[in-house]
Structure 1
Amino acid sequence: MGYVTTQDGVEIFYKDWGPRDAQVIFFHHGWPLSADDWDAQLLFFLANGYRVIAHDRRGHGRSTQVWDGHDMDHYADDVAAVVDHLGVKGAVHVGHSTGGGEVIHYIARHGEDRVSKAAIISAVPPLMVQTPSNSDGLPKSVFDDLQAQLQANRAQFYLDVPTGPFYGYNRPGAKPSEGIIRNWWRQGMMGCAKAHYDGIVAFSQTDFTDDLKSITIPVLVMHGDDDQIVPYANSGLLSAKLLQNSTLKTYSGYPHGMPTTNADTINADLLAFIRD
């Protein structure tokens, strides 16, 4: 574990576990969480002989709580700073939700030279918000409401999200895990309110269409068809079509937070993709 300082003076926290000469898997977390959200994956892949790296996005977790730079260009450049600092080559980059957008933008912006494969899980690309050219997107008012709830009472908002739609705990017959809910809340409250507020714009209004089209390496697209946060039809399905070399895996009934609630399945499928 350590920190790297970016060109604009932000300290990015990262975890780096495993043999130095092992295949690297670099994990990118979702909004408004931290590298801790990958616990189930880090331990699994470490046990399977991989070197695992995960960072806290600027303004999230243990990274600097700066007030600016909360956009995909800065997110991608921060990843590049960690990659350069650690001398990582041939990595597999895995991103969940906003982290999936970060993976796509990082590869498109910084090139494929140091990346062998990628996987995006319940990810925000190609574009979440509704526009004249993206009529099936979610209305901007949905994201405005998220910002309003964050500003009004962030602590309660960060309890309501994991208790309800994020993990599908609002579905009939669901069995909520108090530990998972509290861990989501803990990670969220560690971060910077300004970063999270601006991050809603970053994940909802960034158009990744051209980024997706430009990528030639193999990309695994994993998405649950009961995702209540990032709707499947306008995200995973479209991303797989736009990518040049994609594999789409659709998970029946799985929620947005499936890397946590369905870790055994997700981990096994990621391992098979990486080994292939």
Structure 2
Amino acid sequence: MTRPRRFLPSVSLLTAFEAVLRTGSTAAAARELDLTQGAVSRLVQNLESQLGRPLFLRDRRRLIPTEAARAYGRDVTRALDLIARASMEVAANPGGGVLSLAILPAFGTRWLAPRLAGFLSAHPGITVNLATRLKRFSFAAEGFDAAIHFGRDDWRDAGHLHLFQERLIACAAPAFLAAHPVAGAADLLDLPLLQIETRPTAWARWFQAQGVDAPPPRGMLFDQFAPMTQAAVHGLGVALLPDFLAEPELAEGRLVPAFGPAFGGVGSYWLVWPEARATYPPLAAFRDWLAGVTAGLR
């Protein structure tokens, strides 16, 4: 795509503008950029000239940003951050083999992390950078190459790879169940049922799968699985946990099944990526590896 040069200001112009906008003065920006105040002023004026409109109102010695400048500045800041991140990645890995991946905390620590060494061993030239995100975000704004997403294949303008359906198991601490015996699914209605924000219908679906007509559950609400798991371990109620997440606690006896087998939950795990990055070699390698690892789980 041909980009008009008028709308591609140099990094020096954009850096000076962003510094003035953020610090509030050319003097402060000059100290930060190690330039003279006059040089910063000229850079800002050159940017205004290139864009064909003022970005600051001059009031004696003060520069007051226009509303257009504030909006422009938000985009410029994101763009400069992306350039800086890309430059650091190239410096850290001259081969360009860097994959920036957004992960869900529980999935990342309990499912992906134990398997990731296999990918890195098979692709020694690729560096994987991980960051946690609980909610959807803009790939354009955040700069990730891909993300692990829970739900459906409905991320806009993105490619999707289905990993596996989440299977939930009702479990609690042994002492808790000893004090609150459960002979059938309906017995759980009298117990505190731990809930997670991202699965608001999970308990309703669990009771439906057991053939029980249940009112809305009562119990503590959590935003992540890790604290909810610990709450169950310490006897605060019954938790519906992904089977892969509960596996260590079940194996160690800190949790036991409360009633019934694991059941298909309310969504699946997906690898998602921006369409523009679909052929990026580190992403393609990771996608192929992940498809092989999860082939028997779908």
| Fold in common (TM above 0.5) | no
TM-score by length of 2: 0.31
The structure in which a higher percent of residues are strand is 2
Instruction: Give the alignment's TM-score, normalised by structure 1.
Output: 0.32
**Higher-Rg member (1/2):** 2
